[in-house]
Amino acid sequence: MPRNPSKLRDHFEAGPAYNKPAEAEGAPHVYHFNLCWHGDRIGSFAAQGDELRWEGYSSPKYEKLFTQRPEDGMPYFLVNMHPDNKLFELLEQDEQITYIAGGLRYLCNLVISRNAPFDLPVMKDRLQTDFDRYIADGTFIGAYTGPFPNDNGEDLQENLKEYWRNRYVPRFSGAEVKLPATLHEFGVLQPAITTPFTHIIKFPTDSGKEGWGFNEWMCLELSQAAGLRTAKHALLSLGKDKPPAVLVERFDIPHNARSEDHNWFLIQDFCTLAELSPDERGRGSMEQVAKVLRQHSTNPQADLEDLYRRTVLSVAINDGDMHRKNIAMLFEYNPQKEQYVNVRLSPTYDVTSEIWQYDSEQKQTLSVQGKTSGIKAKTLIAFGKTIGLSEDRAHELMEDVTSRVAARAVEIARNLPQEAAKYEACRFTANRIATIAVKAAGHFGGSAPAWENVEAPKATFKMVNGQKTFVIQP
């Protein structure tokens, strides 16, 4: 390992930066791409300007696999493959076409390039080791020497930009600052460039989000407490004076590092599955999500209960960001049988609590029984019945989830992992989440341990030196 990996450009070949070809006579350049999944060519498409055109599947067996655009059979996840991160703007890859052309590796072992499958990433993405072995007290205890623990905000952006210029760096979208990483055998964690992308590092940002890494970690713990399958996670220390990041294990890649005999995973979120564009991520209702879930799931009863748990969790911790791209289904394909053997609600990921909001401001993104705020016990019960649960079962789940979440939240707040206890931002986050969860248990018929509420302080965003800054009023 390099001794000081925090300066990426010193030891990684940046690879060719992507340059957009000149446009001939005003007509946008036509690009041709192959789409490969686990090394098999699925089909090809052309891209011109902001139009994508499907050119056909390589074999009829692949035609049934994806939610497809009706006009031309284009897999919808491709239509929806957009950068939605400031970083890609900085890289001048903020248009869909430059984003696709600038990359190579995408989630789920998908490869897109002109020469694929010959133009392959160096290695297939698959887990390399047992994450649990390198977690103690909720915190990653393997070796992580960067990049970035010593960089300040500006350097972080600059370094990430440099890193992402490399075409081999896996592309995946989302709003927060993230780094694809490899957890190697013996617990060595490094950025993924030529190595398998197994984990995601999500960095906390400032302006009121210093505790965001811890926030997501705690909410993932609460998802687990709610009885949901949840992405494996750990706090990641970023060195002194910096609240931790959250390290999340991918659930869309093979788990066995060696066996070639494995199923292939495909994530399709509820934008893709509902044939909506990413801009419409906040549109619609949980009832619509449930309907789509029922159409695809190989175990609809269990999945509808899980979707119900996920909804109760979101209300109970004030997760204001449960939009259609933050909930998804995981499709598990068996290449020998040439069919999906399991299609289920995916493990929970990207769940956070809006700790700065007052109770009166709590709001869901997708509606529940027509409501995004003022959701009451009877709203949740009515929702449960609409999606096919019995009234008794809806009650039972609501009470169970809110009780377990409150109990676990208080337990975490009272026994913070050492890595979090050091930081005021984390202590405050834990106290706020526990307060929200305990109140929710009260509203939704659950039970909660004794707890002294910590309320959101009066705080606002102000412009300081031309920067939007979070300021707590005394």
Ligand X SMILES: Nc1ncnc2c1ncn2[C@@H]1O[C@H](COP(=O)(O)OP(=O)(O)O)[C@@H](O)[C@H]1O
Give the binding site for Mg ion (CB under 5 A): 174, 326, 350
**Residue closest to ligand X when measured from CB atoms:** 174
Interaction partner, residue 267 (ligand X, Mg ion, none; CB < 5-8 Å by kind): ligand X
Least CB distance from residue 326 to Mg ion, whole Å?
5
**404 near ligand X, judged by CB under 6 A:** no
What's the closest the beta carbon of residue 219 comes to ligand X, in angstroms? 11
203-262: contacts with ligand X (CB under 6 A): 231, 248, 250-252
Interface mask (CB under 6 A) for ligand X, residues 297-336, using x and -? ----------------------------xx----------
What does the alpha-carbon distance between residue 4 and residue 133 come to, in Å, rounded to a whole number? 25
Least distance (Å) between residue 206 CB and ligand X:
16
Query: Which tokens go with 303?
Result: 């999945």
Residue 267 or 316 with smaller CB distance to Mg ion:
267
Q: Which of residues 80-109 bind ligand X (CB under 6 A)?
A: 107
Is position 76 an interface residue for ligand X (rule: CB under 6 A)?
Answer: no
Of the residues 2, 28, 149, 174, which one makes contact with ligand X according to CB under 6 A:
174
Query: How many other β-carbons are positioned within 10 Å of the β-carbon of residue 404?
Result: 22
Least distance between Mg ion and beta carbon 230 (Å): 15
User: The dihedral of CA 353, 358, 360, 365: what is its sign?
Assistant: negative
The one segment of 170-178, 186-194, 366-374, 436-444 that binds ligand X by CB under 6 A: 170-178
Tokens found for residue 131: 């994450």
Take residue 344 and report the two structure tokens written for it: 């289920």
Tell me which DSSP letter residue 59 carries. Answer: S
Task: Tell whether residue 12 is a contact of ligand X (CB under 6 A).
Answer: no
Which of 216, 223, 271 has its CA nearest to residue 248? 216
For ligand X, which is the closer residue by CB, 248 or 345?
248
Residue 338: CB minimum distance to Mg ion, A: 31
Q: Smaller CB distance to ligand X: residue 200 or 412?
A: 200
452-464 CB burial, b ≥16 within 10 A, e <16: eebebeeeeeeee
Rounded Cα distance between 313 and 219, Å, is: 9
Compare residues 250 and 310 and give the one whose CB is closer to ligand X. 250
- How many CB atoms within 10 Å of residue 233? 27
Q: Do 226 and 128 form a contact (C-beta atoms < 8 A)? A: no
**Closest residue (Cβ) to Mg ion?**
350
Q: Which of 203-218 are b and which e, b meaning 16 or more Cβ less than 10 Å from the residue's Cβ? A: bbeeebbbbbbbbbbb
**Which region, left, alpha or beta, applies to residue 425 given φ > 0 means left and ψ of -120 to 50 means alpha?**
alpha
User: Looking at residue 230, what DSSP letter applies?
Assistant: B
Nearer to ligand X, 167 or 250 (CB): 250
| Binding region for ligand X (CB under 6 A) | 107, 172-176, 178, 200, 231, 248, 250-252, 267, 269, 325-326, 349-350
